[in-house]
Structure 1
Amino acid sequence: MTSVDDDHRWLVTVFAVPVVLLTLVSAYFCWTALTIRPSGAWDDDAYAGIVLACAMSVGAAGVAAAVWVSPPVRRVLGWGWVVPALVLGAVAGVRWALGG
């Protein structure tokens, strides 16, 4: 038989994997959105890349939050697991709103 602590550790591991992976995806796209520098007002491709990176970052953060909101996940994982994804999504949302 396994103890309750072993079951809890197993659940934390299983539920943390998608949240952590989605946070990493959000971080990558947020970093990309923040580092793209258009060459000028005429650089439509760079502006489109910023919008796409922001949308992907916000989307990944939203999915991470949606996974965390699920009652079984929320019971096992605390706020500290989802806050980084939400911060990254907010930063990407601000970058998106400012338009590059």
Structure 2
Amino acid sequence: MAVPLVLLYTVAAGCCYYAMTIRPSGTWDKNAYAATSLLCFLTIAASTLALLLTVAPASVRRAMGRWWLVPPLVLIAVATVRWMLGS
């Protein structure tokens, strides 16, 4: 179960990184704002999927520690803040 979660975390972290590094050239740069919004949405979607995979099956919850919940929650928080401030 760790392999799909790490892959989802990597995708979400990559999207979050690019969402944080995109800087619009000005208020007229609608493409940069749209890309930031899309990347934030993809970060939240991938992190939510990883979160659901972590908490869904009871057998996985017993085998995995609670620290597996931290990365998607942090990524969701960062992407949400960026989405709110970037729009």
Alignment of 1:32-47 (within 5 A): 32-47=18-33
State the 1:18 CA deviation: 1.1
Between the aligned partners of 1:91 and 1:73, the Cα distance in structure 2 is: 26
TM-score (norm 2): 0.93
Root-mean-square deviation (Å): 1.0
Deviates more, 1:73-82 or 1:37-46: 73-82
Unaligned runs of 5+ in 2: none
**If you compute each CA radius of gyration, which structure gives the higher value, 1 or 2?**
1
Q: Which residue of 1 aligns with 2:59?
A: 72
- Number of equivalenced pairs: 86
Map Cα deviations across residues 10-68 of structure 1 (whole Å, 9 max, x no partner): xxxxx111111111111000000000000000000000000000000011100000000
Between the aligned partners of 1:85 and 1:52, the Cα distance in structure 2 is: 17
Alignment of 1:1-100 (within 5 A): 15-70=1-56, 71-100=58-87
Unaligned runs of 5+ in 1: 1-14
Give 4+ residue runs of structure 1 displaced > 6 Å after superposition.
none
TM-score (norm 1): 0.81
